[in-house]
Amino acid sequence: MFNTFLSARGVTGPFTDADYFTYVDGRPRYEAVGLFLASRGIELPEGTSDDPAEALTVRGLGNRKNDAFLETLHRDGIAPYPGSVRLLDWLEQRGTRYAVVSSSRNAVQVLQAAGLADRIPVVVDGLVAAAEGLAGKPAPDTYQYAARLLGVACERSIVVEDALSGVAAGRAGGFAGVVGVDRGVGADALREAGADLVVSDLVELVPAP
C-alpha cells in the first residue's frame, strides 16, 4: 500500500522492513501511517476514521492498509507459531493468567482465524483502547489496563513483545520484566528498547520436561 502511494507521488525509495519495524509495527493504525509519512516529509490532512480508502488523508491511507490486510486474512487465513501455542499450553497448565494486548483493531479476528480466540481470556486491542481512552504503545496504558482486568499487579507481570513500541511500553509500565521476541527487528534493537531477555521463539520460555 505504501509503495503504491509513494510511487504515485513520485517519491523515490520504497517502504522497507526497517520502515515497518520503526514506524508501523505495534503502533495504532493511524499513528503508524502518520509517523511513516512524516519520516518521508509528506504532509497529508488527518481526515476522519470514516474516510474511504481512496481518500488522500492519513486515515484514508490507514483504512486502505486495513482493507488490504483484512482481504489477505480472509483469503489466506493465518497459522499460529507452534512455539506460541506451546507457551499457552504451559501457562494454562500452571494456572498462570495471561492476556493479549494489541494495538490492532483486528486482534479478535486474527485470533479467530488462528483458532486461538477461545483460549485468550482477556484481549485489550485497539477497539478497547479507543473505548477506554487508553494511549497506544509505546505508552504503557494498554498493558496496565490488561493487568487490572487480570487482577494482577504490574510489578508481578511480564510483558512479551515483538515490536519495539511494545517493548518500550512494557519498560515504561513498571512491569517485572520484558521479554522481546525477535521476529525480524533484531535482538540488539529489542534490548535497546528495554527488553530484559530476547528469544527468537516463545517455546524458549517453556521449561524442558
Percentage of the residues of the chain whose pLDDT score is greater than 70 = 100
Nearest to 150 by CA among 178, 177, 123: 123
Task: Please report the DSSP string for 98-152 in residue order.
Answer: --EE-S-TTHHHHHHHTT-GGG-S-EE-HHHHHHHTPPPTTSSHHHHHHHHHHT-
Q: What is the band of 209 on the pLDDT scale with cuts at 50, 70, 90? A: confident
* Half-sphere exposure at residue 66, Cβ-oriented, CA atoms within 13 angstroms: 24
Mind listing the pLDDT tens digit for each residue in 71-100? 999 999 999 999 999 999 999 999 999 999
Q: Which three cell numbers stand for residue 137?
A: 504503545
DSSP state, residue 154: G
| Tens of pLDDT, residues 109-159 | 999 999 999 999 999 999 999 999 999 999 999 999 999 999 999 999 999
Q: What is the pTM of this model?
A: 0.83
Q: Which one-letter amino acid corresponds to residue 40? A: R
Q: Is the pLDDT of residue 12 over 90?
A: no
DSSP string, 100-112: EE-S-TTHHHHHH
Average pLDDT, the chain: 95
Q: Are 163 and 138 in contact, with CB atoms under 8 Å apart?
A: no
In the chain, the domains with their CATH numbers are 2-75 (no CATH), 82-205 (3.40.50.1000)
